[in-house]
Amino acid sequence: MTSQVRDASIESILANLDKIIPDLQAIYIDLHAHPELSMQEVRTANLAEERLRQAGFEVTNGIGKTGVVGVLQNGEGPIVMLRADMDALPVKEATGLPYSSKATAIDREGKTVPVMHACGHDLHVTWLIGAATLFAKARDKWQGTLIAVFQPAEETASGARAMIADGLFNRIPKPDVVIGQHVMPFPAGAIYWRSGVILSAADSLQIRLFGRGAHGSMPESSIDPVVMAAATVMRLQTIVSREIAASKSAVLTVGSLQAGTKENVIPSEALLKVNVRTLDEDIRLHVLNAIKRIVDAEAEASGAPKKPEISTIDSYPRVTNDPDATKRVVDSFYSSFPKYTVREIAHPMSGSEDFGLLGEACNAPSVFWFVGGTDPESHEKAKKSGRIREIPTNHSPHFAPVIHPTLQTGVETLITAACAWLLSSSS
C-alpha cells in the first residue's frame, strides 16, 4: 500500500493495524466457524460486546433482540455511526477451508438447517471490531463520537427495523453520518463506490394457490394447482420481458415452487415464493401490481375455488448514498489508497440491504460501499478466460473471501471514511 498521500492522523490511527491483525484473523476464523442464523446471533453479539467494552466503549446489548451498540465519546465533534451486520445463512458450506463451518441451527420454521457465513458478515463484524479498537487506541488523533452498531438479521430484512423499533436512536447521540460496507466477489484490495442508488429494493412474496385435490387418474374431478402454478410461473416471466421498458430494469425470480407429495395424487394447493428487485419506486409498484393481476387471473382461468393468498415475506428499501457524504468519503479514499484500487461502479447492484433504514430513521446521510474479497490472481484469470460468472458470489456454498488483504482493507476503509468527519475539527 502506498501511503505517502495519506493524512498523517489517519496514518497514525492505522499504525497499530499490523499489530492487531493476528488477533483480528483469529476473531474472523472463529466467527466463520461459528455462524449463527438471523436473530440467533448470541455468541457473535457477546464477542462484539466484549471487544467494545475492552476498547472502552459504553455498550448496550440486546437491542432488537441481539443487537449491540457501543459509543465512544472523545470530545466535541462530529458523530459517526459505523454498522456491521452479524447473521449467517442456512447454507451448507462447501469451501473446503480448514475453518469451514459445520454448524447447524433450527430455522424459523423449526427445521434443522446447516449454517454458513456465505455472505461475509463475519468479515463485517471483524472489520468493525478492528476499526473500533484502533480508534480507541488513538484517541489523541481524532475528535468526536464514534458509534459502533452490530446489527442482527440483515438476511431477513428485520434486524435494522428491530433495533430502530427497540429505541436504538433514543439510547445514543444522533449521528451526523451512517457508514457501512459489504464484502463482494471483486478483487481483494479493491473498493467500489457509487453516489445515489447503490443497491436495489427487494420484495419477497409467498403465493398460495388453491385448487381441488383428486386421484391422479381422475383429473376431471380436480382443479389442478400444479398446472395453475406452472402457468402462473411462465406468465410471471412476461412482466419483466413485456411490461418493463428496455431503458428500465427489474428482476423477478420464482425461487421456490412446492406442490404435492405423490405422482398419483393431485394436491389441493401449491406454494410459490417470488423475489423481485427494482431500482425505481414506480417500476417496483408496477411489478408488484402485475404479479397480483397475473396470479389472480391465472387462478380464475383455472376455476380456482378460492382467490390466491399473497403475503410479504420481507421487503428491503433501496440503499441510496447521499451525494455530499459520498463525496467526502470518496475524496478521503482517493487520497489514502492507490488510485487503481478505488473504483466507481456505473450501475447500482441488484443485491439488497436493510442498511438504508438506519440513516432514514435518524435523518442522517448514509454511505455504503463494497470491498473486494476474491483472490486478485484468480479474479484476473477468470476475467481473461471469460469465466468471471463462475467466481463464487455471496450466498454461494463456495463463497470464500481471502483473509489477506481483505481483512486489512475493510478496517482501513472504515477508518478512512470515518476520519472524513472525525478529523474535521482538527484539520
The residues that touch Zn ion, with contacts defined as CB under 5 A, are 119
Per the structure block, which three cell numbers stand in for 182?
459489504
CB of 192 to Zn ion, least distance (A): 15
CB of 151 to Zn ion, least distance (A): 11
Residue 1 to residues 11, 43, 190, Cα–Cα distance (Å): 12, 34, 12
Residue 323 to residues 24, 339, 352, Cα–Cα distance (Å): 32, 20, 19
- Which residues are bridge partners to 374 per DSSP? 187
Nearer to Zn ion, 267 or 348 (CB): 348
* Straight-line distance from the first to the last Cα atom of the chain, in angstroms, rounded to the nearest whole number: 23
Q: Are strands 191-193 and 250-259 parallel, antiparallel or unpaired?
A: unpaired
Nearer to Zn ion, 45 or 119 (CB): 119
Strand locations in 242-300 (E): 250-259, 265-266, 269-278
The single-letter DSSP state of residue 392 is P
CB of 88 to Zn ion, least distance (A): 9
CB of 125 to Zn ion, least distance (A): 12
**Nearest-CA neighbor of 79 among 176, 150, 10?**
176
Per the structure block, which three cell numbers stand in for 158?
428485520
CB of 243 to Zn ion, least distance (A): 28
* Radius of gyration for the alpha carbons in the chain, expressed in angstroms and rounded: 24
CB of 124 to Zn ion, least distance (A): 8
Per the structure block, which three cell numbers stand in for 345?
461502479
CB of 136 to Zn ion, least distance (A): 26
CB of 308 to Zn ion, least distance (A): 29
Residue 268 to residues 10, 358, 398, Cα–Cα distance (Å): 64, 43, 38
**Interatomic CA distance for residues 190 and 187, integer angstroms:** 6
**Interatomic CA distance for residues 356 and 318, integer angstroms:** 7
C-beta nearest to Zn ion: residue: 119
Task: Write out 113-148 in H/E/C secondary structure.
Answer: EECECCCCHHHHHHHHHHHHHHHHHCHHHCCEEEEE
CB of 89 to Zn ion, least distance (A): 7
Nearer to Zn ion, 100 or 393 (CB): 393
Nearer to Zn ion, 193 or 370 (CB): 370
CB of 101 to Zn ion, least distance (A): 15
Q: How many CA atoms lie within 13 A of 186 on its CB side?
A: 19
CB of 49 to Zn ion, least distance (A): 21
Nearer to Zn ion, 160 or 207 (CB): 160
CA torsion through residues 19, 182, 343, 147, sign: negative
CA torsion through residues 84, 90, 96, 101, sign: positive
**Contact predicate 379/393, CB 8 Å:** no
Nearer to Zn ion, 57 or 127 (CB): 127
Nearer to Zn ion, 159 or 267 (CB): 159
**Residue type at position 307:** K
**Contact predicate 251/277, CB 8 Å:** yes
Nearer to Zn ion, 91 or 270 (CB): 91
Nearer to Zn ion, 119 or 162 (CB): 119
**Nearest-CA neighbor of 172 among 180, 162, 163, 181?**
163
Would you say how long the chain is, in residues? Answer: 427
Nearer to Zn ion, 79 or 91 (CB): 91
Nearer to Zn ion, 79 or 157 (CB): 157
